[in-house]
Amino acid sequence: MVRLDTKQPSLAADQLKLVARRLFAERGVDGVTVREIAMAAGQKNHGAVGYHFGSKEALVRDIILDGAILIDQRRNAALDMLEADGGPRTIRQVVEVLVQSSVNMGEDGDAEGTYIRFVTMLGMTHRDLFIDALQGKWNSGYLRCLDHLRRLMPPMPAAMKNQRFIFMGAALGSVLSMREAALTDTVRDHPVWRSSTVIPHFVLSLTALLEAPAVEETAVLNGHAGDVPAIAG
């Protein structure tokens, strides 16, 4: 994962983050203690989280940034390439950037890992912490995607576009979390989620959501833009 500083990496700290992310993804931040994290990471010192990170919240922030920076860099790089060629020209191209940047988040040969499940659950239970940890800058690729979508979507009130972005963000988090969980399940087989057609089909489905024409009742949405998510999946 991407790091913010130039300090020599600590194998113990990296292992704590890897284990903590998995436990948080499975049980939520509030359902895991620092003692459990240390034990699961094979640390004899049950205060290992405090030693390496200072606090549980600091550990959570570190994990948020690891994935958020990687996803943001992927999105910005993909958009730079599209814009250099005069694009993006279609909604589907933008959706592909959003989706493809959020898959293959694992490490050491683990194709998917646990980051999307972790951050999706965190966004529902500790949204303020999540937004604050982004430091107002590690969602620039997502916001660039939204700008392009606003330009490319069918005519409709701004409030309806923002509402669709909320739907899109929820779908990104939930569907990719389900896929991530299935691909890391060593007990059962999941042929649907392992199919090579899943991601392309998901891209088409999100594209259809955004391309759908506005209905006549959209007037009631004027002036009620709602909250557009800061980052998704």
Q: CATH number, domain at 109?
A: 1.10.357.10
Q: Which domain holds residue 172?
A: 63-221
Asked if residue 185 belongs to a domain, the reply is yes
For the stretch 179-212, pLDDT in tens is 998 988 878 888 888 899 999 999 999 999 999 9
Asked if residue 102 belongs to a domain, the reply is yes
Whether the per-residue pLDDT at 6 is higher than 50: the answer is: no
Highest mean pLDDT among 66-70, 79-83, 132-136, 214-218: 79-83
Nearest to 71 by CA among 202, 205, 232: 232
**Structural domains of the chain, count:** 1
Cis preceding-peptide flag for 88 (omega within 30 of 0): yes
Neighbours of 22 (CB within 10 A): 19
Question: Looking at residue 45, what is its pLDDT?
Answer: 83
Classify each residue of 95-130 as buried b or exposed e, where b means 16 or more C-beta atoms within 10 Å of its C-beta. Answer: bbbbbebbbebbeeeeebbbbbbbbbbbbeebeeeb
Which contacts of 129-132 are long-range, i.e. CB under 8 A and separated by 24 or more positions? 129/57, 129/60, 129/61, 130/64, 130/230, 131/230
Question: Looking at residue 221, what is its pLDDT?
Answer: 53
Question: Looking at residue 121, what is its pLDDT?
Answer: 92
Asked if residue 37 belongs to a domain, the reply is no
**pLDDT top residue among 48 and 225:** 48
Asked if residue 15 belongs to a domain, the reply is no
Cis preceding-peptide flag for 200 (omega within 30 of 0): no
Asked if residue 231 belongs to a domain, the reply is no
Query: pLDDT over 90 for what percent of the chain?
Result: 68
For the stretch 96-152, pLDDT in tens is 999 999 998 765 444 458 999 999 999 999 999 999 999 888 999 999 999 999 999
Asked if residue 200 belongs to a domain, the reply is yes
- How large is the average pLDDT for residues 147-165? 95
CB-based contact 115:105 (threshold 8 Å): yes
Asked if residue 13 belongs to a domain, the reply is no
Neighbours of 50 (CB within 10 A): 15
- For residue 220, what pLDDT band results from cuts at 50, 70 and 90? low
Asked if residue 177 belongs to a domain, the reply is yes
